[in-house]
Structures are given as C-alpha cells and as structure tokens.
Amino acid sequence: MPIGAHVGVSAGYGRAVEYAASVGCECIQVFSKSPRQWNARPMDVQCAEEFRSRVQTTGMAGVLVHTSYLINLGSDDDGLWERSSAALADELVRADMLGADGVVTHVGTRYRSDPAFTATRIAAGVDRAFAEAGSSATRLLLENTAAAGTTFGDGPEELGAILALLGTSEGRVGVCLDTCHAHAAGWDLSVPGALTALVDDFERCCGMPIEAIHANDCLHAAGMHKDRHAWIGEGTIGYAGFSEIFEDYRLRGLPVITEMPGEVPLKDAENVSRLKRLRDACAEPA
C-alpha cells in the first residue's frame, strides 16, 4: 500500500511533487484550485504536464485530487445544486489534466425539504457532472463524513444509497474511507476488529467500493461527530487501529493519504514514517 500525504501547491505543482518525495511520500493528494472558492483560472497545460512528469520521475504510485469544500450536491437550492455539479465537473477535468487516479469529494448536506430524497439528488448531481466533464477518465471517490449537523454520507449505508442510484456515471464512482470521520461518526476504530467490520459493511452495502484511504487519527472520542485530525497514534484511534488497515487483504494496494495539522515538513514526514513502520510491522512474518 503506497503511503503519502496531502500537500500544498502554492509553490507550483511540480514543486509539490518534489516536496512530497522529500518527506517520503509514495503517493500524493493535492487541491486543483482553492478549496474555498468557486471560480479559478483554467488549469495551465504546462503546469499540468510538469506535474505529470514529476509524478512519473519520482515514482509516485497514486495521485488524488480533493475537491472544493463548497460543493453541496444534496442542497435543495437549485442554484447551489447546479453550481456544485458544475464545480465537480470542473474538478474532474482538472484532475484528468493532472493525470489523477481519483477525485475525492464530500457529497454535501441532506435535502432539507425532503431528506429521503437526498441520495437521489446527489446521484443526479454526480451524473450531471460526469456528463459536463465529457471525456474525463478520472474516477470520483465519495468521502465519508463525521456525521456532523446535516451532512450526508456518514458511512456504508448512505454512500451505498448514492452508488445504487447512479445512472450514466455508474461504474465510475467509488469511496474514499476517512478513518477520523468514521471514528467520529460512531465506528470506534480503536476497538479490535472494528475496521474489519466497517469494511464488511461496505461490502454489504456497496459491493466494496473503497479505492483510497485517508489515514487520520481523531482528536475526540468515537461518536462525538467532531472532525478534528490528530497525528497517527496520538488520537483516540491509536496505533493498533491503524495496523488493521495493513492487515485487511481487501485494502491491499490502495493509496493511503494523511491530512495532518502542524508545520511542514515535520507533520508530513513524521506521519508518513509512522504509517510506514506499521505497514512494515504487519508485513513481517509472525
């Protein structure tokens, strides 16, 4: 399983890859534009080519792009829903230019006037985005949430409901499992076997669509619905919980990305190193 981190691109996409390699990343996640703005200049072709070249040169085993935090495909405001779908289409196009393997997105909130309609609303927005993105071959990965407030998509059942309702984009969408979010939503990943049970639930509800993992420890206790990341082993999941990621054969080969608070480069170098040590320990013969 390649291990990496979400890294900034303020110094340029090429330098982002160089930074990732310098802190030990084997895979990488970036934003393709500001995560807190709707509009951005079109992706520069030369920058995208440089990024792809550096990814190949450094041997990165996977590239993910995370979407804007503004996207809300569950909104019952038609204007916001249309804008969100268009923004997702733009993210798919940008990610395709960067040669990304997947675009990770939060799906948004519940459909306020009819919560039972939420999964249908989100699926329609995804279909619309792929239609608008045209020939983009990048896969879309729906990220589970911490189940805070009115957010939708806290786990296998809600994400599975979206996947089951996809139309033209069926087969082009999977899941990114965030450990902090799952723990905060109520799956206590510090308990032995909890991660295995969660993956079982994804198999039951979705046919096992997990294609990437955000490996983040959780600052608060399980079930508190607080999305606050902690360094690996320093939160309420703990080292043992993360070891299960590397022990489950169904997760083998998936990119594992950390999204950590703190100062660069220490936060990335240290957390990538901690995950590598856990991976290596799980690979050692008993």
Count CB atoms within 10 A of the CB of residue 10.
8
Distances in Å between the alpha carbon of 192 and those of 99, 177, 206?
A: 37, 18, 23
**Inter-residue contact 175 to 142 (CB < 8 Å):** yes
Calculate mean pLDDT across residues 207-217: 96
- Spatial distance between the Cα atoms of 234 and 138, rounded to a whole number of angstroms: 34
Question: What's the pLDDT at 139?
Answer: 98
Strand-pairing partners, residue 12, are: none
All residues at 6 or more sequence positions from 263 whose CB lies less than 8 Å from its CB, including other chains: none
Q: What does the mean pLDDT of the chain come to?
A: 97
Mean pLDDT on 177-190: 98
- Could you give phi then psi for residue 214, rounded to 5 degrees? -95, 110
Whether residue 111 is predicted with pLDDT greater than 90 in this model: the reply is yes
Instruction: Report how far residue 33's alpha carbon sits from residue 92's, in angstroms, rounded to the nearest whole number.
Output: 12
Q: What is the mean pLDDT of residues 196-219?
A: 96
Q: How many CB atoms lie within 10 A of CB 59?
A: 9
Reply yes or no on whether the pLDDT at 286 is more than 80. no
CATH superfamily, domain at 3-283: Divalent-metal-dependent TIM barrel enzymes (3.20.20.150)
Query: How far is 10 from 256, CA to CA, in rounded Å?
Result: 23
pTM: 0.97
pLDDT attached to residue 13: 96
d(CA 220, CA 237): 9
Q: 136 falls in which pLDDT band (50, 70, 90)?
A: confident
Q: What is the pLDDT of residue 221?
A: 98
Distance CA 99, CA 96 (A): 5
**Residue pair 94/136 in contact by the 8 Å Cβ criterion:** no
Catalytic residues: 36, 66, 69, 106, 143, 178, 181, 214, 227, 229, 259
pLDDT in tens, 40-84: 999 999 999 999 999 999 999 999 999 999 999 999 999 999 999
Q: What's the distance, Cα to Cα, between the start and end of the chain in Å?
A: 19
Q: What is the reported pLDDT for 73?
A: 98
Q: Which two tokens stand for residue 7?
A: 């890294």
Quote the pLDDT of residue 160.
Answer: 98
